Structure 1
Amino acid sequence: MDKQIVLVVDDTPDNIDVMSGILRPSYKVKAALTGAKALKIAAGTPKPEIILLDVMMPEMDGYEVCKRLKADPKTADIPVIFVTAMSAEEDETRGLDLGAVDYITKPVRPSIVQARVKTHLALYNQNRYLEKTVQERTEDLISTQLEIIRRLGRAAEFKDNETGLHVIRMSHYSRLMAESLDMSEKWSNLVFNAAPMHDIGKIGIPDAVLLKPGKLDEQEWELMRKHPEFGANIIGEHESELLMMAREIALAHHEKWDGTGYPYGLKGEDIPLSARIIAIADVFDALTTARPYKKAWSVKDAVALIDQESGKHFDPELVSVFHEVMPEILDIKEQYAEEEGSIEELSR
């Protein structure tokens, strides 16, 4: 088993020699004579697992080094023990307030140094193990949550006589647009993973209306326009960022930029950005896929309609983004093309 790495920081070489002599039998010791060098080593690979830090150093004292270590996410979790001749209570308090885990005064006693380093390394290893365990369980939970969302999205598609490829394609289209807006990777992934739930509310629409091959009458349209609210109710209110986004998309993806959409007639930027993105991705995929009562539109004709609806149905800025990512969209469209004979019900 590789020895754990201890970084000793002191501007006096003799002090480093003393600490190295105490620690080297049990640990791999690295040394730094300045605060700047210590910061560089701490941020490097492999990084030290504990730092023994002198306070009184020229240019950058130990307090400042500790402050910078704790401010950097790459080094913030490394335990710091101050080793100094400054023995006043206020000095120790200041060091601990900056995030140090311990404070040893000089001249040091080997048994004390060994015991403190061993204790804090054990706590550090335990914390890392616990963090890893929590992360793994969180990832398992998120994975399960995503799988449920995908399967519910598929359920809505199957009820609507769709193959499931519709939600795959439009989810990818949506992520491409989100990424092109320079949104964070996290937000773009939320859009991608929430998109399959956009039409989950169709589960609440009677088959006689949902699967009607002809045009809907006004009473049937009134019922159909309730599916965004049905979807929001199915998803419910949750603290999960993913489910919150799925709910806002389900509720608002039929709103229109000019305020003529449903269910609430939201207008412009009052419509959540996620839902504005989904609206374009959903309609484009629907138009370019065959339905029981129409052939698939050409990409050229579908894009022309989206351009025509810019500023009416769709956010004009997002229409421009849609054009920017069109080459990638066409790649996704080809990758997840429908098999011959499959049908999709769109636009409702």
Structure 2
Amino acid sequence: MTGAAVEGDEGAVVAIVAARTPAPLVLALRGLPGSTCIVAVSAQVIEDLVARDPDVIVVEAEAERFDAPVLIRTLRAQEALARTPILLVAAGEARALRRIGREVGATDVLAKPFDGLELHERVGVLLELALARRENDRQALAMRRDAAKAMLEAAARERELVRRLMLAAEFRDDQAGDHLTRVAGCVIAVAEGLGLSSAEADDVALASTMHDIGKIGVPDHILMKAGPLTPEEWDEMRQHALRGYHMLHDSPSRLLQIAAEIALTHHERWDGSGYPRGLKGEEIPRSGRIVAVADVFDALVSARSYKPAWPLEKARAHLEAEAGRHFDPACVAAFLSRWDDIVALVQERSS
């Protein structure tokens, strides 16, 4: 078996597989408009065709030399050649050849003896098909790249929006920034401990920075109060969960939807005694269960005007004691599995 390739001025390549050299097909295609040279290829036809990646392959059947249908099936099995137009040139009745061509994956068939002009026309049509397909693939790739770039830019804008909203919370409470940063770090530890991917953990962590965004609507005399809150003031403070949810939930942004979910549910409790809806167990979204652990832990280990900071081990013991009551036991276990990381985070980010 031998092979040759006819290469055109514009870079189009017609590869020919034939049993004889010089093949009549090669001689006939010398006159193909735009062709300038004939390049011989080795006897390793399959490997050579994959490497050359021709625009069209012409296979001349020679029953006594090689099995053209088997060859075409082999070519089609190669990923690089699966869509390459293939013209089967063989002796036989036209209808039978078309049936064989369809069965083995040939794009077109030409019966021998062939007319040189018809051969040129058939190959020319297949070249146009191949070049149109390649241009379509090029445009599709460019569109995918543009879409990927647009998605990255949109994600960057989303994250910038989240950061701006986090700054809004800091304007109300100068301790909020450190708190939100530590909570986000704890969220990553819990999320990864639960087996979430890094991307999923990052999304929940970033969304968690808006868990108290609803406090923007809490009056200063309640939000900044140094002493205990009255029952009426507690009722007002608890409204921040619903307010945060209503601020965020109808956004088309997936990140803000996660943030809305967290804002609404991070004060729910595993035993159903939380607020605002009294959800219980796995009725509470996983994001809310994760943030509940991180938020309470950081509140415990942080000094406030109304309380001193708890020692880390005391806060840890509280989480362990409340697993199954306040907190999802799996979230507490995940949190404690990253205890060394948590300690390092608190020590680094201490207010």
- TM-score over 0.5 for the alignment? yes
Are 1:267 and 2:280 matched, yes or no? yes
Verify the 8 A CA contact 1:232 1:247 in the aligned structure 2: yes
Which of 81, 85, 93 aligns to 2:84? It is 81
Counterparts of 2:253 and 2:58, CA distance in 1: 41
> Partner of 2:107 in structure 1?
104
| Cα displacement (A) at 1:161 | 3.2
1:178-197 equivalence runs, <5 A:
178-197=191-210
Distance 1:160 1:122, change over 3 A: same
Letter of the structure 2 residue corresponding to residue 165 of structure 1 = D
Q: Indicate the RMSD between aligned Cα atoms, in angstroms.
A: 4.2
Verify the 8 A CA contact 2:211 2:263 in the aligned structure 1: yes
1:248-327 equivalence runs, <5 A:
248-327=261-340
Q: TM-score, normalised by structure 2?
A: 0.72
3-state SS of paired residue (2:84): strand
Which of 118, 134, 143 aligns to 2:147? It is 134
> Partner of 2:4 in structure 1?
none
Letter of the structure 1 residue corresponding to residue 296 of structure 2 = V
3-state SS of paired residue (2:276): coil
Letter of the structure 1 residue corresponding to residue 303 of structure 2 = A
> Partner of 1:72 in structure 2?
none
Farther off after superposition, 119-128 or 300-309: 119-128
| Cα displacement (A) at 1:115 | 3.1
Q: TM-score, normalised by structure 1?
A: 0.72
> Partner of 1:152 in structure 2?
165
Counterparts of 1:250 and 1:229, CA distance in 2: 7
Counterparts of 1:209 and 1:274, CA distance in 2: 27
Verify the 8 A CA contact 2:101 2:107 in the aligned structure 1: no
Verify the 8 A CA contact 1:50 1:79 in the aligned structure 2: no
Counterparts of 1:8 and 1:196, CA distance in 2: 60
Distance 1:90 1:261, change over 3 A: farther
Alignment size in residue pairs: 304
Distance 1:314 1:57, change over 3 A: farther
Distance 1:248 1:56, change over 3 A: farther
Q: Which runs of 5+ in 2 are unaligned?
A: 1-10, 60-67, 89-96, 111-118
Verify the 8 A CA contact 1:9 1:33 in the aligned structure 2: no
Farther off after superposition, 214-223 or 183-192: 183-192
Which of 223, 243, 246 aligns to 1:233? It is 246
Counterparts of 2:56 and 2:232, CA distance in 1: 72
Letter of the structure 1 residue corresponding to residue 195 of structure 2 = D
Counterparts of 1:321 and 1:104, CA distance in 2: 58
Counterparts of 2:179 and 2:234, CA distance in 1: 22
Counterparts of 1:49 and 1:153, CA distance in 2: 56
Letter of the structure 2 residue corresponding to residue 126 of structure 1 = Q
Distance 1:196 1:113, change over 3 A: same
> Partner of 2:184 in structure 1?
171
Farther off after superposition, 254-263 or 134-143: 134-143
| Cα displacement (A) at 1:251 | 0.3
Verify the 8 A CA contact 1:252 1:263 in the aligned structure 2: yes
Counterparts of 1:190 and 1:146, CA distance in 2: 9
Distance 1:295 1:123, change over 3 A: same
> Partner of 2:138 in structure 1?
125
Distance 1:278 1:57, change over 3 A: farther
Verify the 8 A CA contact 2:166 2:210 in the aligned structure 1: yes
| Cα displacement (A) at 1:321 | 0.7
Counterparts of 1:332 and 1:82, CA distance in 2: 60
Q: Which runs of 5+ in 1 are unaligned?
A: 43-47, 70-74, 96-102, 339-348
Find the structure with the greater CA-based Rg: 2
> Partner of 1:207 in structure 2?
220
Verify the 8 A CA contact 2:56 2:127 in the aligned structure 1: no
Are 1:116 and 2:129 matched, yes or no? yes
Distance 1:281 1:61, change over 3 A: same
Distance 1:49 1:242, change over 3 A: farther
